[in-house]
Amino acid sequence: MGLGEELGLDKPIQTVEHESLLNIIYTGTMIARASFRYFQRSDLTDAQFNVLVQLKYASEKSLSQSALGRRLVVNKADMTGIIDRLEKTGLVVRRPHPNDRRVHMIAMTDKGEETVGSLEPGYFDGVQMLMAGIPKKDLRNLNKVLETVRRNVTQMLSSRWSAQ
Q: Which letter does DSSP use for residue 74 in this model? A: -
23 within domain boundaries: no
Q: Contact at 8 Å (CB) between 121 and 53?
A: no
Q: Name the pTM for this structure.
A: 0.83
Boundaries of domain holding 147: 44-157
The tally of domains found in the chain comes to: 1
> Strand pairing partners for 93?
107
Rounded CA-CA distance 164/162 in Å is: 6
Nearest-angstrom CA–CA distance, 51 and 156: 28
98 inside domain: yes
pLDDT (tens, 9 = 90+) of the chain, 164 residues, equals 788 888 888 888 899 999 999 999 999 999 999 999 999 888 899 999 999 999 999 988 899 999 999 999 888 899 999 999 999 999 999 998 888 888 889 999 999 999 999 999 999 999 999 999 999 999 999 999 999 999 999 999 888 776 66
Give the helix ranges, DSSP H, for the chain.
3-7, 16-40, 46-57, 65-72, 76-88, 110-131, 136-157
DSSP code of residue 133:
T
Question: Would you say residue 162 lies in a domain?
Answer: no
CA distance 131 to 65: 31
Q: Is residue 70 in a domain?
A: yes
DSSP 8-state symbol, 91:
S
How many of the other CB atoms lie within 10 Å of CB of 146? Answer: 11
Domain containing residue 61: CATH number? 1.10.10.10
Q: Is residue 90 part of a domain?
A: yes
User: Is residue 56, in this structure, part of any structural domain at all?
Assistant: yes
